[in-house]
């Protein structure tokens, strides 16, 4: 348990107990002051996955707590480690000392282990396919975790995260998942009102992530197929999971959160109509899914990556007594009359990407336990279910998805690994075909 | 008139195209490869007083000292740049059409060498609509780059207005708080702002234009200028035509927006950009191209009557 703060906590606890039993301090100091003994400990941070989001998350973590120090970085690509470290250093502009020793920069597929070993708190922000394995290692090494969504790309990975979520809880490790709407005041305010029954029982909803799509990285001369896929990861399912998972999980997760359960089944349709070039790998450019919940609620979910169409990223829920629109923050009664509007003030709202780290470190300091991993895994599975439904054209139940042996991600990856999807002689990848594509169950 | 000149004149009359000389009238930019157009209004150069008098309601210190400024002739887009147009710059899907224009071009640029905006991670219209709605949330650098791209595409020199040019065009010869007068209660006919916007931007060109034919100079979206925002800059603003940015923040934005109150819409009102406009950008480095937290800022383009030298062009197209 090298570098573990658990060990320190336990020692502190024993010391506190001894003091408390003497009855001297306990009478005069509030309990909180004992927890404060932890407050000055320097927390070592490791960043695993040094892309734009990972680097941003590292800044959030370093901003959340004065006594956090970035000590180790890991990424498959050395150039990403270097550019990330440069960006983080520039961000703090000398106001915070950023020093990561050269020996603590780990490239390659297995560098994550060594980076995690060095730290108390780890940020897991590689492409999602790797997450279950990184999370498993971090929890086994007793680390607190911030990890980005989604937390897996296949059911096998989801189950691993669910197992580790339990262990994390037992070990009292904090795990925050970057479904940052849970840390956004507008959402938590609306959630509380809905939970109090402001719109009655939720019966239906529509969730959207429709826009023009994201970046694409062109194949470079001399790249191996594996390196190309790792650079252009968004378009390969074993590492990305398709945009219904990678982005749209945010919106599906909001529906789950507000309804208070996970879908019992999903059926839908999807395809690839405008984004057909080989640089777009194997993912669809649109999905439409109906999610059915145990309480009878039905959520229509649509996500589209097509240029020139209407854009909409939002969640709307209807209840027996009204409706809530998350984007505008408007809650209305059954006749359309305004019940409540969230008083959004541009520039005065807390940044949820910062809040999620503030909460994480606050919880670590106060010996609390945040356990986001279970919901992260279940919302991940919800979106995977949607993908299984659109790829196959069949209804998929929660149990089928949860127990499926469908595995996209190899358990071990190194530079000799052959990616699960390979291009044909024209550079094109096999595209899932509804009615034909099947999943092992 | 000599016969040679006469033939030239006839050619001029019968041609809808622009030749290697400029016309002192408004015209339409036709964007090759699209149905998109943009009306460019000819603005005759002149002298005007920048800033506001001390008695103007809502007047801020950065609007002084008032100064007599000379502005050269230019064309200005009658409307703010829409998503329809801006998206072509983001997607770079009509670049191949630019070669057709090169014969008549006043300027020549390699369109492939112009850097393009990255695809944003979030829907930058925030669900407020895209068809005929103003593009928003681009950085000033992105807006500047758009003008360079448009120049390469069309063969004419386009850029952002300087603060002085912007205010000259906004005032349209007036010295009142708004181009229609001092009474803010008339704003409802001319501008989208806090009181009538219903919490979102609106399609461009729906309200009454100012007397020079420019729409939405007050309100709808605030508009980028070329200048670094500096409160006391008017003191120096005679020798200096514009305040060339030496740093990213703050840059000057004018006209107020759908989120602002009537005082922030005044012709003289100024605002500086700041890093908070990227607060919720979860990436590091934060995007050079998008402001995640500025759904109120857009821009409109101008074209100077006299096309500057190639060297000067680059100065206008280079920003921090």
Q: B127, A211: Cβ pair inside 8 Å?
A: no
Q: Where are the beta strands (DSSP E) in A338-433?
A: 338-341, 396-397
Task: Evaluate whether the domain defined by A185-350+377-403 bears CATH number 3.30.360.10.
Answer: yes
> How many alpha carbons lie under 13 Å from residue B30 in its C-beta half-sphere?
9
Distance CA A424, CA A88 (A): 40
Question: Under 8 Å CB-to-CB from B306, ≥6 apart: which residues?
Answer: B72, B73
A219 CB-contact burial (10 Å; exposed 0-12 / middle 13-18 / buried 19+): middle
Mean predicted lDDT score pLDDT of chain B: 90
Question: Under 8 Å CB-to-CB from B183, ≥6 apart: which residues?
Answer: none
The pLDDT > 70 percentage for chain B reads: 91
For residue A356, the chain B residue with the least C-alpha distance is B282
Q: A57, B281: Cβ pair inside 8 Å?
A: no
A353 in reach of chain B (CB within 8 A): yes
For residue A243, the chain B residue with the least C-alpha distance is B121
Q: A353, B280: Cβ pair inside 8 Å?
A: yes
Q: Which residue has the tokens 């840390």?
A: A183
Distance CA B40, CA B30 (A): 11
Report residue B108's pLDDT band, with 50, 70 and 90 as the boundaries: confident
Domain boundaries, chain A: 5-181+366-371, 185-350+377-403
pLDDT attached to residue B177:
98
**Residue A36: pLDDT over 80:** no
pLDDT attached to residue A8:
41
Verify cis geometry, omega within 30 degrees of 0, for the bond prior to B250: yes
Chain B residues within an 8 Å CB radius of A210: 123
**Residue B231: pLDDT over 60:** yes
Which residue from A87, A214, A313 is facing B284, i.e. has the nearest CB? A87
Higher pLDDT, B2 or B315: B315
Report residue B125's pLDDT band, with 50, 70 and 90 as the boundaries: very high
pLDDT attached to residue B102:
61
Chain B residues within an 8 Å CB radius of A84: 284
Q: B130, A346: Cβ pair inside 8 Å?
A: no
Q: Which two tokens stand for residue A146?
A: 């911030």
pLDDT attached to residue B223:
98
Dihedral sign for Cα A349, A350, A353, A359, please: negative
Q: B119, A215: Cβ pair inside 8 Å?
A: yes
CA distance B125 to chain A (A): 7
Higher pLDDT, A309 or B180: B180
pLDDT digits over A63-87, tens only?
Answer: 999 999 999 999 999 999 999 999 9
**Residue A21: pLDDT over 90:** no
Report residue B119's pLDDT band, with 50, 70 and 90 as the boundaries: confident
**Residue B8: pLDDT over 90:** no
Best residue in B123, B124, B273 for a mutation probing chain A (most A CBs within 10 Å): B123
Q: B283, A214: Cβ pair inside 8 Å?
A: no
pLDDT digits over A244-282, tens only?
Answer: 999 999 999 999 999 999 999 999 999 999 999 999 999
pLDDT digits over A331-390, tens only?
Answer: 999 999 999 999 988 878 899 999 999 999 999 999 999 999 999 999 999 999 999 999
Distance CA B235, CA B166 (A): 18
> How many alpha carbons lie under 13 Å from residue A68 in its C-beta half-sphere?
27
- Given the DSSP bridges, would you call strands A338-341 and A330-333 parallel, antiparallel or unpaired? antiparallel
Report residue B104's pLDDT band, with 50, 70 and 90 as the boundaries: low
Asked if the domains A5-181+366-371 and A185-350+377-403 are classified in one and the same CATH topology, the answer is no
Phi, psi of B205 (to 5 degrees): 75, 20
A176 in reach of chain B (CB within 8 A): no
pLDDT digits over B237-287, tens only?
Answer: 888 899 999 999 999 999 999 999 999 999 999 999 999 999 999 999 999
Chain A residues within an 8 Å CB radius of B222: none
Nearest to A176 by CA among A380, A7, A375, A382: A375
For residue B278, the chain A residue with the least C-alpha distance is A347
**Residue A1: pLDDT over 70:** no
Report how far apart the first and last C-alpha atoms of chain A are (Å, whole number). Answer: 38
Distance CA B219, CA B193 (A): 5
Q: Edge-to-edge strand order for the sheet containing A286-292?
A: A338-341, A330-333, A322-325, A312-319, A202-211, A298-305, A286-292, A265-271, A396-397
For the segment B174-182, the average pLDDT, to the nearest whole number, is 97
pLDDT attached to residue B12:
43
**Residue A28: pLDDT over 80:** no
**Residue B228: pLDDT over 60:** yes
CA distance B218 to chain A (A): 20
pLDDT attached to residue B101:
56
Q: What is the largest CA-CA distance in chain A?
A: 79
For residue A148, the chain B residue with the least C-alpha distance is B282
Q: What is the DSSP letter of A308?
A: T
Chain A residues within an 8 Å CB radius of B36: none
Task: Evaluate whether the domain defined by A5-181+366-371 bears CATH number 3.60.70.12.
Answer: no
**Residue A26: pLDDT over 70:** no
For the segment A145-151, the average pLDDT, to the nearest whole number, is 98
Chain B residues within an 8 Å CB radius of A88: 284
Mean predicted lDDT score pLDDT of chain A: 91
For the segment A22-33, the average pLDDT, to the nearest whole number, is 38
For the segment A276-297, the average pLDDT, to the nearest whole number, is 97
Report residue A38's pLDDT band, with 50, 70 and 90 as the boundaries: low
List all residues of chain A from 357 to 376 with a beta carbon under 8 Å from chain B: none
pLDDT attached to residue B23:
57
């Amino acid at each position: 348990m090298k570098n573990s703060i658990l060990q320190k906590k336990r020692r502190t606890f024993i010391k506190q107990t001894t003091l408390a039993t003497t009855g001297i301090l306990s009478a005069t100091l509030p309990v909180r002051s004992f927890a404060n003994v932890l407050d000055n400990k320097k927390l070592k941070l490791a960043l695993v996955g040094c892309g734009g989001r990972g680097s941003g998350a590292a800044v959030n973590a370093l901003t959340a707590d004065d006594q956090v120090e970035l000590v180790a970085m890991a990424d498959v690509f050395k150039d990403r480690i270097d550019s990330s470290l440069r960006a983080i250093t520039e961000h703090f502009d000398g106001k915070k000392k950023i020093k990561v020793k050269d020996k603590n920069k780990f490239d390659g597929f297995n560098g994550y282990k060594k980076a995690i070993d060095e730290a108390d708190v780890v940020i897991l922000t590689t492409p999602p396919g790797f997450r279950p394995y990184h999370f498993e290692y971090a929890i086994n090494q007793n680390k607190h975790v911030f990890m980005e969504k989604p937390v897996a790309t296949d059911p096998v990975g989801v189950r691993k995260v669910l197992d580790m979520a339990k262990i994390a809880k037992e070990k009292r490790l904090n795990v925050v998942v970057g479904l940052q709407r849970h840390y956004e005041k507008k959402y938590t305010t609306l959630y509380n009102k809905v939970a109090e029954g402001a719109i009655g029982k939720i019966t239906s909803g529509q969730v959207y992530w429709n826009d023009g799509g994201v970046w694409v990285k062109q194949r470079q001369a001399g790249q191996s197929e594996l390196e190309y896929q790792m650079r252009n990861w968004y378009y390969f399912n074993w590492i990305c999971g398709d945009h219904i998972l990678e982005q749209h999980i945010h919106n599906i997760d909001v529906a789950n959160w507000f309804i208070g359960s996970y879908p019992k089944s999903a059926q839908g349709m999807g395809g690839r109509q405008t984004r057909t070039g080989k640089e777009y790998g194997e993912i669809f450019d649109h999905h439409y899914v109906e999610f059915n919940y145990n309480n009878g609620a039905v959520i229509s979910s649509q996500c589209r990556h097509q240029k020139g169409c209407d854009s909409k990223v939002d969640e709307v829920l209807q209840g027996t007594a009204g409706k809530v629109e998350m984007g505008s923050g408007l809650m209305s009664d059954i006749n359309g009359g305004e019940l409540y509007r969230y008083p959004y003030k541009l520039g005065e709202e807390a940044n949820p990407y910062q809040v999620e780290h503030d909460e994480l470190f606050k919880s670590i300091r106060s010996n609390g336990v945040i356990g986001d991993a279970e919901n992260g895994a279940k919302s991940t599975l919800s979106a995977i279910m949607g993908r299984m439904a659109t790829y196959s054209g069949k209804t998929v139940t929660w149990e089928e998805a949860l127990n499926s042996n469908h595995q996209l991600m190899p358990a071990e990856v190194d530079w000799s690994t052959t990616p699960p999807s390979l291009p044909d002689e024209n550079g094109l990848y096999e595209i899932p075909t509804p009615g034909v594509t099947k999943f092992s169950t | 008139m000599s016969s040679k000149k006469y033939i030239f004149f006839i050619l001029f009359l019968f041609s809808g195209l622009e030749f290697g000389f400029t016309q002192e009238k408004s015209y339409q930019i036709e964007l090759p490869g699209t149905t998109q157009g943009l009306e460019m209004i000819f603005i005759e150069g002149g002298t005007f007083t920048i800033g506001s008098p001390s008695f103007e309601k809502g007047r801020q210190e950065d609007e002084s000292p008032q100064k007599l400024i000379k502005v050269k002739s230019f064309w200005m887009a009658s409307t703010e740049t829409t998503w329809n147009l801006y998206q072509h710059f983001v997607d770079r899907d009509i670049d191949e059409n630019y070669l057709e224009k090169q014969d008549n071009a006043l300027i020549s640029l390699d369109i492939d060498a112009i850097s393009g905006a990255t695809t944003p991670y979030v829907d930058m219209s925030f669900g407020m609509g895209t068809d005929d709605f103003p593009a928003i949330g681009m950085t000033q650098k992105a807006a500047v780059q758009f003008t360079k791209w448009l120049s390469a595409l069309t063969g004419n020199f386009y850029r952002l207005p300087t603060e002085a040019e912007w205010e000259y065009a906004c005032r349209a010869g007036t010295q009142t708080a708004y181009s229609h007068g001092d009474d803010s209660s008339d704003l409802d006919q001319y501008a989208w702002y806090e009181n009538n916007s219903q919490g979102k931007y609106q399609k461009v060109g729906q309200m009454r234009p100012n007397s020079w034919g420019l729409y939405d100079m007050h309100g709808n979206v605030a508009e980028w200028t070329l200048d670094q925002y500096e409160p006391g800059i008017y003191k120096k603003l005679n020798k200096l035509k514009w305040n060339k940015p030496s740093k990213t923040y703050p840059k000057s934005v004018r006209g107020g927006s759908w989120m602002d109150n009537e005082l922030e819409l005044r012709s003289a009102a100024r605002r500086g950009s700041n890093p908070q406009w990227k607060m919720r950008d979860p990436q590091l480095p934060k995007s050079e191209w998008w402001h995640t937290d500025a759904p109120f800022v857009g821009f409109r383009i101008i074209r100077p009557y006299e096309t500057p030298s190639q060297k000067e062009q680059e100065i206008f197209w280079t920003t921090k």
